[in-house]
Amino acid sequence: MSAASVRPTARDFVRFDGVSVRYGTGTSAVQALERADLSFAAGDFICIVGPSGCGKTTLMQTLAGFLKPTSGEVSLEGKVVEGPGPERGVVFQQPALFPWMTVAANAGFGPRLRGSRDVDARAETWLRTVGLWEFRDRYPYELSGGMQQRLAIARALCGEPKILLMDEPFGALDALTRERMQEELHAVWRRTGMTVVFITHSVEEAVYLGTEVVVMSPRPGRIVDRIAVRFAREMAEDGIRAVKSDPEFIATRERVLSLIWQMGET
Amino acid sequence: MLLGWWALTISGVVARDLLPSPLDVWNAAQKIVRDGYRGTTLWGNAWSTVGRLLAGFGLAALVGVPLGLWMGRSRAVGAAIDWIVQFMRPLPPLSYMILLILWLGTGDGSKVALLFLTAFPIIVAASAAGVRSVSALRIQVAESLGASRAQILRHVVLPSAAPMVLTGLQVALAAAFSTVVSAELMAATDGLGWMVISASTFLRNDVIILCILILGVLGMGLAWMLRLLDRRLVHWRGRL
């Protein structure tokens, strides 16, 4: 738990300053997050891992604006987060689509709320990107689980956020679909240079998708380590499979895993 | 069923007066359609029943759905009104029917009020529950896409609550339907329920059975119409 491994970043695109979150009061109070300090640059792909109850979702919720820190503050581009906003797109483990809207209407929901004129064009762009254009007139319940999650991602991206917050987005998918989705997300990130914060249970996923892996520990939830990873930036064409057999990849994965094992549970 | 009924009547096991045969009922139907029943027409009576039903149910839906949605949205409004609804819901409507007749007379007023009171708590409770059960994730998604409170209400809360609201309307219609007939049996000067009671004093069991058949068909028809509406409006019901 050395503070030395927490390195300062050149740009403070996102900053968590001593962010604590406490649920409840008195003896039943739970310290979900204790004095979290974290900052990262635009274009980073930050993966957050840690056992259940380590506060990773809580951390993300303060950035999304769904949760107010008990103390400390979170800022994006120097602006303190006061609530949810369209510059921060979110994707949950559940796709949480709007079943009364067609696929196209789901995708274009954000821009339509703001009365944008290019709703259709934007929806088309993102639906094509995630391979759902031919399903534009269908309803979400006619899609498979993986397609539903792709639509949830397209909907978030269509809102043109500056940062994409993903809370175990592939956690409910089968292994094959999951791998394909990882490739696709990675391709979108490479092409757009979007900043992503990605919560996952899978250390492997974190190590090949992230430019940095943030390790958290539970009771109370805190950040214990940050590990810079190079695979995400290098993995242009050889894909996930090639990276997985790289000895350095394996070493990094084992390092993160042993950090988590030291906490006594996985 | 029709065959069993027919066999029972021609075999003479049951007296013709008590259980008329299908043919007797058919003949009675033709006669009533042609000549009317004691100065009233069959369609007039059916329309009286349906008219009351739709007036009471329609009013209850008109007031109950918005009120229920509001209760679901606002904790204060919910707490203020919920106990009234919970008190009304288990009451058999006929228990206060007599008061309504004393206050509003035996005409349509008391019956529309009764049907309103029957359907209203069901519709309110279902609408409030519909709003309360809206997925928090959907609301968070909408918030993070920049939706205002009004936009969330219109684009997320209302459609999310729609399946439960429509279920409430269907249950309320069925309850109102059985209440309207009972109410007409108690005190009325027209309507299918009145025809049943009137026919019973003359031992015209063929007319009673005719009325019951028409009531059954009417009830089925109304429920079917609501189900059709349900399927069009909330095509996603049970699918996500």
Residue A210 — φ and ψ, nearest 5°?
-85, 150
In what helix (H) or strand (E) does residue A19 lie, and over which residues does it extend? strand A14-23
Residues of A with Cβ-Cβ distance to B135 under 8 angstroms: 96
SS3 of residue A198 by DSSP: strand
Query: How many other C-beta atoms lie within 10 A of the C-beta of residue A7?
Result: 9
Distance CA B135, CA B164 (A): 13
Confidence of residue A1 (pLDDT cuts 50, 70, 90): very low
CA B101 to chain centre: 20
**Closest to A109 (Cβ–Cβ): which among B140, B145, B235?**
B145
Q: Per the CB < 8 Å rule, is B141 touching A65?
A: no
Kindly report the nearest CA distance between residue B137 and chain A, in angstroms.
6
First to last CA, chain B: 40
Residue A144 at interface with chain B, using a CB cutoff of 8 Å = no
For residue A69 the two structure tokens come to: 């820190």
Judged by DSSP in three states, A124 sits in: helix
Full 3-state SS string of chain B: CHHHHHHHHHCCCCCCCCCCCHHHHHHHHHHHHHHCECCECHHHHHHHHHHHHHHHHHHHHHHHHHHHHHHHHCHHHHHHHHHHHHHHCCCCCHHHHHHHHHHHCCCHHHHHHHHHHHHHHHHHHHHHHHHHCCCHHHHHHHHHCCCCHHHHHHHHHHHHHHHHHHHHHHHHHHHHHHHHHHHHHHCCCCCHHHHHHHHHHCCCHHHHHHHHHHHHHHHHHHHHHHHHHHHHHCCCCCCC
Give the A window 18-77 contacts with B, CB below 8 Å.
64-66
Percent of chain A with pLDDT over 70: 92
Q: Residue A177's Cα: distance from chain center in Å?
A: 18
**Positions of chain B with pLDDT lower than 70, given as ranges:** 240
Residues 6+ apart with CB under 8 A from A49: A56, A199, A200, A201, A202, A203, A206, A213, A214, A215, A216, A256, A260
Dihedral pair phi/psi, residue B57, rounded to 5°:
-65, -45
Beta bridge mates, A71: A20
- A41-57 pLDDT per residue, tens: 999 999 999 988 889 99
Question: What is the 8-class DSSP label of residue A28?
Answer: G
B interface with A, Cβ–Cβ below 8 Å = 135, 137-138, 140-148, 151, 155-156, 159, 162, 234-236, 239-240
- Nearest-by-Cβ selection for B146 from A86, A139, A140: A86
Cross-chain residue pair B240–A96, CB shorter than 8 Å = no
Both tokens assigned to B197: 């009671």
| Cis ω for the linkage preceding B90 (within 30 of 0) | no
At A8, the pLDDT band (50, 70, 90 cuts) reads very low
> Taking residues A105-123, what's their average pLDDT?
92
List of chain B residues whose C-beta atoms are within 8 Å of the C-beta of residue A67 = none
Q: Is A206 helix (H, G, I), strand (E, B) or coil?
A: helix
Which ipTM value was assigned to this complex? 0.87
By Cβ distance, the residue of B145, B156, B239 closest to A159 is B145
Question: Hey, what amino acid is at B150?
Answer: A
Higher pLDDT, A104 or B10: A104
| Phi/psi at A167 (5° precision) | -105, 100
**CA of B145 vs chain A CAs: smallest distance (Å):** 5
Q: How far is CA B186 from CA B140, B180, B194, in A?
A: 52, 10, 8
* Predicted pLDDT at A239: 67
Of A66, A99, A114, the CB nearest to B240: A99
CA A110 vs CA A113, A122, A133, B162: distances in Å: 5, 10, 17, 22
CA A140 to chain CA centroid, nearest Å: 22
Which of A66, A90, A99 has the CB atom closest to B236's CB atom? A99
- Give the angle B236-B238-B240 at the CA atoms, nearest 5°: 65
Give the model's pLDDT for residue A3: 43
- pLDDT bin (cut points 50, 70, 90) of residue A238 is low
Q: Cβ of A169 under 8 Å from any chain B Cβ?
A: no
* A251 sits in which H/E element: helix A247-262
Per-residue pLDDT, B63 = 96
Domain ranges for chain B: 47-233
pLDDT at B32: 83
How many CB atoms neighbour CB B210 within 10 A? 26
B73 contacts B153 by C-beta, under 8 angstroms: yes
Residue of B155, B234, B240 for testing the chain A interface, max A β-carbons within 10 Å: B240
Confidence of residue A6 (pLDDT cuts 50, 70, 90): very low
The model's pTM = 0.84
Question: Of A113-127, A240-254, B48-62, B116-130, where does mean pLDDT reach its minimum?
Answer: A240-254
* A114, closest residue in chain B (CA to CA): B146
* pLDDT(A124) > 50: yes
Which CATH number applies to B47-233?
1.10.3720.10
**Residue linked to tokens 């992230």:** A210
Q: Do residue A98 and residue B151 have CB atoms under 8 angstroms apart?
A: no
Cβ contact A110–B143 (<8 Å): no
Q: pLDDT band for A177, please (50, 70, 90 cuts).
A: confident
Name the more confident of B124 and A25: B124
According to the model, what pLDDT value does residue B21 have?
81
- Mind listing the pLDDT tens digit for each residue in A82-103? 999 999 999 999 999 999 999 9
Name the residue among B227, B74, B82, B78 with its Cα closest to residue B163: B227
- CB < 8 Å to B162, chain A: 100
Model pLDDT for residues A56-73, shown as the tens digit of each residue: 999 999 999 999 999 999
CB contact under 8 A, A113 and B234: no
Beta strands A212-217; A222-228: pairing state: antiparallel
